[in-house]
């Protein structure tokens, strides 16, 4: 049975609210960040709706942001694998050509022994990072490929290689931790050896350019990939969809799925205003809130709690729009105890006039264990949202 065969043309309004890195875990000292946060509005939605726990890539699997968001949009993340480079390229509207190789890079600092000291170069300011990106575009020249750079935000930089015979099957150069050197480019397939050789020259050229600059010493590249076409969100679900995401990568994954990318708002209030302004133009809105994940990566519990509370404050404005369904969840967990993504299931709530109600009275990881949603794959949320919004017909006689 294919979901598309059950879809109807009914109009609806579905809001998918994603707190990046929302999930965490309680330990002997702390509740989870979500449980610690003061979230009266999310708690009310949980009390009036249904809750559960979702797993973006399967039990025990730590998911990246790309797979996490594809699962939220109802795509099987094991079938549609997208590197961060492609998502970043789409997000900054870089015209990625067939055969181009894209990677997401972190401007970083190195210690005197050549080991990574700070993977994010102190979350370098945008203006300084843009100047470094300009210097890289001017100074990085190698045989075998044209190399292009685009600043994304803060320490994040897009790198694109264009040339003959390039292959995206390259292991990440980013070791994902400090105190060790960046990784040497390694092919994941023998046919990618030429690309790995080109990348060794690119890495050396990047370091030479940055040696004459202040703020960063190297660029940690990861998520190598090439151009992809994904099945259209509109064709899969008969929905007019748009995103008000701010960060380029999340705008990128939405755009690859065929969502419209509304002009980039300024903060949560701007995102809510953009949804309100375009309310009659779309059936589905994707709101992405990055700050919980940033604080999770930095191990800053109080900041993650505050970021969750900031999202809670705009919930009444979203409810006032009278959507058919509001879903609130995360793309993965980012516990501050680990300062990284983790495998822990993600708290999830659904609210709307036809969603139903369970026994949960608050929104938090342990409260979600009693919810009617149960514990399920993230990609199953999309059909539940569609059904709750009246978009699915009965199956069978």
Q: Is the overall model pTM greater than 0.85, yes or no?
A: no
Task: Give the single-character DSSP code of 49.
Answer: S
Which CATH number applies to 3-81+231-388? Answer: 3.40.720.10
pLDDT at 109: 97
Tens digit of each residue's pLDDT (9 = 90 or more) over 142-190: 999 999 999 999 999 999 999 999 999 999 999 999 999 999 999 999 9
Among candidate residues 247, 240, 273, 219, the one with its CA nearest the CA of residue 103: 219
Domain residue ranges in the chain: 3-81+231-388, 87-225
How large is the C-alpha radius of gyration of the chain? 21
Task: Give the single-character DSSP code of 223.
Answer: E
β-strand partners of 328: 17, 349
Strand ranges in the chain using DSSP code E only, listed in sequence order:
14-19, 50-55, 101-110, 116-118, 146-153, 156-162, 218-225, 241-243, 260-261, 284-289, 325-329, 346-351, 374-377
Q: What is the DSSP string of 246-274?
A: -SHHHHHHHHHTT-EEPPP-SHHHHHHHH
Asked if 18 and 56 count as a contact pair (C-beta separation under 8 A), the reply is: no
Q: Six-digit token pair at 198?
A: 């080109």
Among candidate residues 174, 223, 178, 179, the one with its CA nearest the CA of residue 203: 174
Q: Six-digit token pair at 303?
A: 């900041």
Burial class (CB in 10 A: 0-12, 13-18, 19+), 97: exposed
pLDDT band at residue 1 under the 50/70/90 scheme: low
Q: Six-digit token pair at 38?
A: 């003061």
Tens digit of each residue's pLDDT (9 = 90 or more) over 236-266: 999 999 999 998 889 988 988 999 999 999 9
Task: Give the single-character DSSP code of 181.
Answer: P
pLDDT band at residue 95 under the 50/70/90 scheme: confident
Among candidate residues 333, 370, 369, 253, the one with its CA nearest the CA of residue 55: 333
pLDDT at 81: 82
β-strand partners of 55: 377
pLDDT band at residue 107 under the 50/70/90 scheme: very high
Buried b (16+ CB within 10 A) or exposed e, 51-83: bbbbbbbeeeeebbbbbbbbbbbbbebeebebb
**350 CB-near residues (< 8 Å, 6+ apart):** 49, 50, 51, 325, 326, 327, 373, 381, 384, 385, 388
CATH 1.10.10 corresponds to the domain 87-225: no
Residue 230 has pLDDT above 90, yes or no: no
CA 363/CA 353 separation, integer angstroms: 18
């Amino acid at each position: 049975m294919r979901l598309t065969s059950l879809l109807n043309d009914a109009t609806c309004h579905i809001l998918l609210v994603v707190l990046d890195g929302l999930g965490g875990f309680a330990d002997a000292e702390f509740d989870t960040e979500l449980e610690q946060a003061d979230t009266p509005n999310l708690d009310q939605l949980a009390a009036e709706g249904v809750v559960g726990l979702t797993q973006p890539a399967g039990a025990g699997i730590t998911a990246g942001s790309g797979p996490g968001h594809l699962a939220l949009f109802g795509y099987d993340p094991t079938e549609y694998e997208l590197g961060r480079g492609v998502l970043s390229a789409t997000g900054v509207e870089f015209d990625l050509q067939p055969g181009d190789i894209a990677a997401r890079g972190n401007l970083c600092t190195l210690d005197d022994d050549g080991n990574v000291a700070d993977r994010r170069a102190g979350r370098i300011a945008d203006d300084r990072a843009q100047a470094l990106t300009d210097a890289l575009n001017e100074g990085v020249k190698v045989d075998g490929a044209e190399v292009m750079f685009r600043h994304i935000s803060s320490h994040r930089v897009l790198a694109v290689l264009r040339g003959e015979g390039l292959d995206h099957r390259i292991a990440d150069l980013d070791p994902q931790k400090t105190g060790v050197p960046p990784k040497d480019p390694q092919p994941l397939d023998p046919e990618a050896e030429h690309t790995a050789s080109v990348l060794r020259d690119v890495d050396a050229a990047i370091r030479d350019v940055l040696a004459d600059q202040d703020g960063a010493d190297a660029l940690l590249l990861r998520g190598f990939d090439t151009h992809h076409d994904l099945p259209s969100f509109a064709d899969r679900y008969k929905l007019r969809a748009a995103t008000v995401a701010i960060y380029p990568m999340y705008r990128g994954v939405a755009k690859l799925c065929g969502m419209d990318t509304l002009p980039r708002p300024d903060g949560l209030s701007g995102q809510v205003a953009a949804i309100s302004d375009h309310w009659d133009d779309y059936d589905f809105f994707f709101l992405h809130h990055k700050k919980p994940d940033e604080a999770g990566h930095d191990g800053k519990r109080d900041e993650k709690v505050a970021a969750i509370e900031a999202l809670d404050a705009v919930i009444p404005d979203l409810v006032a729009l009278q959507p058919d369904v509001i879903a609130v969840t995360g793309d993965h967990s980012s516990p501050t105890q680990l300062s990284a993504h983790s495998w822990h299931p993600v708290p999830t709530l659904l609210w709307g006039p036809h969603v139903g109600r369970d026994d949960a009275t608050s929104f938090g990881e342990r409260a979600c264990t009693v919810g009617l949603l149960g514990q399920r794959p993230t990609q199953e949320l999309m059909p539940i949202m569609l059904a709750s919004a009246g978009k699915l017909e009965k199956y069978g006689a």
